[in-house]
A and B are shown apart, each in its own frame.
Chain A
Amino acid sequence: MFAILQTAFASLRRDRAALALAFILPIGFFTIFAIIFGSMHDTVPRVRVIVVDQDNSEASKSLVNALLHEDTLRVSTHPEASKAQPNPPDYTAQSAEAAVKAGDVSVALIIPQGWGANPVSFGGSSQNQNTPKIQLLNDSSDAIAPQVVSGMLQKAAMTSLPATMAEMGQKYTEKYVGTLTPAQQKQWNDNLVYLKKLQQDRAQNTAPSAATSSSASGSGFNGIIGVQTRSVVGESQNKPMISYYAAAVGVMFLLFTASGSAGALLDEADSGTLDRVLSSRIGMTTLLAGKLTYNTLLAFTQLAAMFVFGWAVFHLDLWTHIPGFLVMGLSTAFAVAAFGMLLASLAKTRAQLGAISTLLILTMSSIGGSMFPRYLMSDAMQKAGQFTLNSWAIDGFTKVFWRDQPVTALWPQVAVLLGAGAVLFLLARRFARRWEFS
Chain B
Amino acid sequence: MSATTAKLASAAAITGAALPLQITGLVKRFGMLTAVDGISLTLAPGECLGLLGPNGAGKSTLIRSIVGRVIPNTGTVSIFGNAAQSTAARQALGWVPQELAIYPRLTCAENLIAFGRYHGLSGSKLREQSAWCLEWAALTDRAKTVAGELSGGMKRRLNMAVGIIHQPKIVLMDEPTVGVDPQSRNRIFEMIEALRAHGASLIYTTHYMEEAERLCDRIAIVDHGRVIAEGTYAELVRSSFGSRSQVIARVTGAPEAIAAWTTRHNGRITDGASEFTIEQPTEVSPLLTDAASAGIELEDLALRRPNLESVFLHLTGRELRD
Contact = CB atoms under 8 A, between A and B. Distances in A.
B70 A277 contact: no
B-side interface mostly: loop
A279 B68 contact: yes
Given A281-B118, A438-B30, A271 B101 contact: yes
B100 A279 contact: no
Interface in A270-290: 271-273, 275-282
A281 B68 CA distance: 11
Interface string B151-172: 0000000000011001000000
B68 A273 contact: no
A273 B115 CA distance: 10
B65 to A, nearest CB: 9
B239 interface: no
B69 A275 contact: yes
A278 B91 CA distance: 12
Interface residues of A, number: 13
A280 to B, nearest CB: 4
Contacts of A271: 99-101, 104
Contacts of B104: 271
Given A271-B100, A272-B97, A438-B30, A279 B120 contact: no
B95 interface: yes
Interface string B96-140: 011111111000000000010011100000000000000000000
A411 B98 CA distance: 51
Interface in B261-292: none
Contacts of B103: 273
Contacts of A319: none
Given A438-B30, A438-B64, A279 B99 contact: no
Given A281-B118, A437-B70, A276 B101 contact: yes
Contacts of B68: 279, 437
Contacts, number: 52
Nearest to B96: A276
Contact of B87 (A273, A281, A438): A281
Interface residues of B, number: 27
B64 A276 contact: no
B27 interface: no
B93 interface: yes
Contacts of B69: 275, 278-279, 437-438
Contacts of A275: 64, 69, 97, 101
A285 to B, nearest CB: 14
A278 B162 CA distance: 14
Contacts of B90: 279-281
Contact of B119 (A272, A273, A281, A437): A281
Interface in A227-286: 271-273, 275-282
B71 A273 contact: no
A279 B67 contact: yes
Contact of B102 (A273, A279, A280): A273
Contact of A282 (B30, B98, B102, B118): B118
A293 to B, nearest CB: 15
B101 A272 contact: yes
Interface string B201-226: 00000000000000000000000000
Contacts of A438: 30, 64, 69-71
A398 B131 CA distance: 53
Contacts of A276: 95, 97, 101, 115, 162-163
A276 to B, nearest CB: 4
Interface in A380-438: 437-438
A286 B98 CA distance: 25
Interface in A172-228: none
A280 B118 CA distance: 6
Interface in A101-138: none
B64 A273 contact: no
A332 B231 CA distance: 62
A188 B4 CA distance: 124
A438 B28 CA distance: 10
Nearest to B30: A438
A351 B236 CA distance: 49
Contacts of B119: 280-281
Contacts of A277: 115, 118
A281 B120 CA distance: 7
A103 B12 CA distance: 76
B95 A279 contact: yes
Nearest to B93: A279
A276 B70 CA distance: 12
Contact of A273 (B91, B101, B166): B101
Interface of A: 271-273, 275-282, 437-438
The 3 closest A-B pairs by CB, nearest first: A272-B99, A280-B118, A272-B101
Given A272-B98, A281-B120, 13 more contacts: A273-B102, A275-B69, A275-B101, A276-B101, A276-B163, A278-B69, A279-B67, A279-B90, A281-B118, A282-B118, A437-B69, A438-B69, A438-B71
